[in-house]
Amino acid sequence: MRTVVFNQKGGVGKSTITVNLAAVGASRGRRTLVVDLDPSGNASRYLLGAEADTARTGAADLFEQSLKFSVRARPATDYVADTPFEALHLVAADARLDEMHAKLESRYKIYKLREALDELAEVYDDIWIDTPPALNFFSRSALIAARTCVIPFDCDEFSRRALYGLMASVDEIRADHNPGLEIGGIVVNQFQPRANLPQRTVQELVDEGLPVLQPYLSASVKIRESHERATPMAWLDPRHKLAEEFEALYDRLAEEDEGPRKGKAKR
């Protein structure tokens, strides 16, 4: 799988979903890579804890290399860091990504990530890409590099309104740059089954025929502990309901990825 987790709205759980789905695959022995393209570095801190602030190399270095024509290109694996978790590796983010955004965009380095991930796909079974909450150079690079886009949705009206524009943006990227890109589905996050508004909002998406994935991810304070301890649910508490939901969601996405690509919905 080569999957980007993307939403232009912040606070919808992109990093949490990226890291925990990656952790499921890694916990099963699949060689797994997380690529963090968000300058805030939440996915990097989730996997490395405080050590994320001292990571020696990462996504910023990978992109910086593309700006230096006089320097011989290093292999993409040079930008990969180990994590404390077996089979799970990381291309870490830091604030320098924000600083180099304009230069990368002006020099049209939009395909450099895809080139790097094509190389890394020889090493990894699964690649998961976390993105900033904006349709900018880094999120477009990720959509161009990925095969599948997963969209987190946090059950409020603002998210619903943003969803349609987001899916139109994915359609545009597909048409202009990446004809193989597909929407793997909408991941409902922080779902409260006993609350009327989340139930109604999600059901309206289903009724409209949008690709809403099951299971929905439950709201749980356990995920806060997971963040604080820098330990994904697959290792923190694999029998927890939320950990089992991530497992089932991973299986659903893997099934979609392995199935016939022809005829899939391309909303």
pLDDT tens profile 65-117: 888 875 667 899 999 999 999 999 999 999 999 999 999 988 889 999 999 99
Is 80 exceeded by the pLDDT of residue 63? yes
- Domains of the chain (ranges plus CATH)? 2-258 (3.40.50.300)
Whole-number pLDDT of residue 264: 47
Burial 212-243 (b: 16+ CB within 10 A, else e): bbebbbbbbebbeebbeebbbbbbbbeebebb
Structure tokens of 145?
């590099």
Is 50 exceeded by the pLDDT of residue 265? no
- What integer is the mean pLDDT of 192-203? 79
Whole-number pLDDT of residue 186: 94
Is 50 exceeded by the pLDDT of residue 260? no
Is 60 exceeded by the pLDDT of residue 5? yes
For the whole model, what pTM was predicted?
0.92
Mean pLDDT of the chain: 90
Is 80 exceeded by the pLDDT of residue 194? no
Q: Give the C-alpha distances (Å, rounded to integers) separating 32 from 83, 129, 191, 262.
A: 11, 11, 27, 26
| Closest of 5, 42, 34 to residue 228, by C-alpha | 42
Whole-number pLDDT of residue 261: 45
- What integer is the mean pLDDT of 228-251? 96
- What integer is the mean pLDDT of 22-32? 97
- What integer is the mean pLDDT of 55-65? 90
pLDDT tens profile 138-177: 999 999 999 999 999 987 777 777 888 898 999 999 999 9
Whole-number pLDDT of residue 71: 61
| Closest of 140, 116, 139 to residue 127, by C-alpha | 116
Percent of the chain with pLDDT over 90: 71
* 8-state DSSP, 218: B
